[in-house]
Amino acid sequence: MANSLPQSLEELKSWLQQLDEVLFKKAIEWAKQCYKSILEKLDKALTEHRDTGLRIEHCRAVWYQTRLGTIKIRRRQYRNMEGRYRYLLDEITGMRQYQHMTTGVQMLALDMASFMPYRRSAEVLRKASAIDLPHQTIWRMVQKVADPYLKKTERGIKWFLETGEIPEGKMKEVSRLFLEADGVMLSLQRERQRKTEVKVGIAYEGWEKAGKDRYRTVNKTVYAAIAGEQSFWAGMSLKLQRKYDLSRVKDTIVGGDGARWVKEGTAYLNGRFQLDRYHLNRELTLALGNDKATKRSVWHACKCGAVEAGLQIMAQAMEQARGEKLQRIAKAYHYLQDNSMGLADYRLALGDEGKALRRTGAMEGNVDKLIARRMKNQGMSWTTKGIRRLLCVRFLILEKKLSDWLTVCNATDHGIDMPRRKIRRIVNRLSMYQPDDWLRANIPALYGPHNLHPWVIALKNITEVPFI
């Protein structure tokens, strides 16, 4: 936007269209000055409260990456008795070494990266805010945040598998839990294998109405890992045990598509398997096609738990089929055999209590929302470490635990005993400065004895906005 004032209606329209952007930049510049003044004043105050063994060496500048953009801050460098250098301002503001970035920037950048590609995240941040980060920086940020959390989780699972001991948790008591699991294949790069399976599990207590003919799960817990069957179910059990007292759960329904590792989860959680109706319907539709009468008969037999009757109907259909159709029906026949333990609707055994419950089948939508949209549907390929790291950050955000974890990651033992009242006084005094003081200034010549001189008239025209 030019510095000159608009001289026509078209120029005025263009000027007004950019007004919000200009004012935003002006506000950001003022906020940067305020932020810089507060921190540098705080750094000066820290000299009075530092440990007696710290000696001031230099006053060095560094660029802080903030929600307001990059700001150059001059802060004092100290040296302790052992010869180690320290920056007290960095420590008290939670700045990590070689990553001078506020928690707000980290939260926003990680949130963006968990839902869109790194390069796109950097572009959106640059266009929508004052934050200007290279996409490689966001990628490294995900790595630095996720790696400690993953190591902590792996240690907990290893300890659980070796000892069977479970850390204390909230231990909520519920009578019934629903658990569903599925796997999603992701493409790999720079790995021996071309694809890997991410195992995903969700657990919830039931359903609540969210609208007309719409329901949502209650108190959903999610878990995902690239791991073997034993490690996955150990991790899932450990996460659930931190939230629930599993010994008090009387009934656990484990739903899935019939994969062996999903059915094995019933042994870990002392539950019973339920084949998802979506997968049952898909197999019957692929096998029987337009033969709706046969499909309806098999479906009803499976629902009622009459597995042998359903298999008999499928066997009769095979006798009448030929060629490719015979192969499809035979495949569905074996699918029903393999999952006979989960064909009957679990609600039948609950009597009247089961009438208020719904069928399982929330897993497909959750796989899409949790994994596929971000990591599969955009033609992406990953390293195994990259998948684990992004899943870790994504789940921390979905579970609203990222802020607490960043506090742990950025925590430093600065050992500074500075009164909070003094910090508050510094912030309040410097932040109360009014950014529009310059607007209250006036030019005496415009109203003095020379107000009719040509040079005064020209000056008045410059200071006024002509409205046409």
412-440: burial string, b at 16+ Cβ within 10 Å, e else: bebeeebeeeeeeebeeebeeeeeeeeee
CB 262 within 8 A of CB 341: no
Q: Which long-range contacts (CB under 8 A, 24 or more apart) does 348-355 make?
A: 348/304, 348/305
The CA distance from 359 to 345, in Å, is 8
* Joined tokens for residue 78: 């100290």
Question: What's the CA angle centered on 107, arms 219 and 242, to 5 degrees?
Answer: 30
Total Cβ atoms within 10 A of residue 87? 21
The length of the chain in residues reads 468
Q: Decide: residue 463, CB within 10 A, 0-12 exposed, 13-18 middle, 19+ buried.
A: exposed
Only one residue has tokens 């949130």, namely 111
Q: Are strands 251-256 and 176-187 parallel, antiparallel or unpaired?
A: parallel
Mean pLDDT across 397-415: 83
The CA distance from 259 to 276, in Å, is 11
Total Cβ atoms within 10 A of residue 400? 8
**429 band by pLDDT with thresholds 50, 70 and 90:** low
DSSP secondary structure letters along 15-33: HHHTHHHHHHHHHHHHHHH
* Structure-model confidence comparison of residues 116 and 170, the more confident one: 116
pLDDT tens, residue by residue, 377-386:
777 899 999 9
Rounded to the nearest integer, the mean pLDDT of the chain is 86
The CA radius of gyration of the chain, in Å to the nearest whole number, is 32
CB 176 within 8 A of CB 354: no
* Structure-model confidence comparison of residues 73 and 93, the more confident one: 73
Rounded to the nearest 5 percent, the helix, strand and coil shares of the chain are 55, 15, 30
DSSP secondary structure letters along 215-280: EEESS-EEEEES--HHHHHHHHHHHHHTTB-GGG--EEEEEESS-HHHHTHHHHHT-EEEE-HHHH
CB 283 within 8 A of CB 332: yes
CB 239 within 8 A of CB 217: no
**352 band by pLDDT with thresholds 50, 70 and 90:** confident
Mean pLDDT across 440-451: 64
Q: Are strands 214-217 and 221-225 parallel, antiparallel or unpaired?
A: unpaired
- Predicted local confidence at residue 403, as pLDDT: 92
**452 band by pLDDT with thresholds 50, 70 and 90:** confident
**356 band by pLDDT with thresholds 50, 70 and 90:** confident
- Predicted local confidence at residue 261, as pLDDT: 94
* Joined tokens for residue 428: 């309040």
* Joined tokens for residue 51: 């440990």
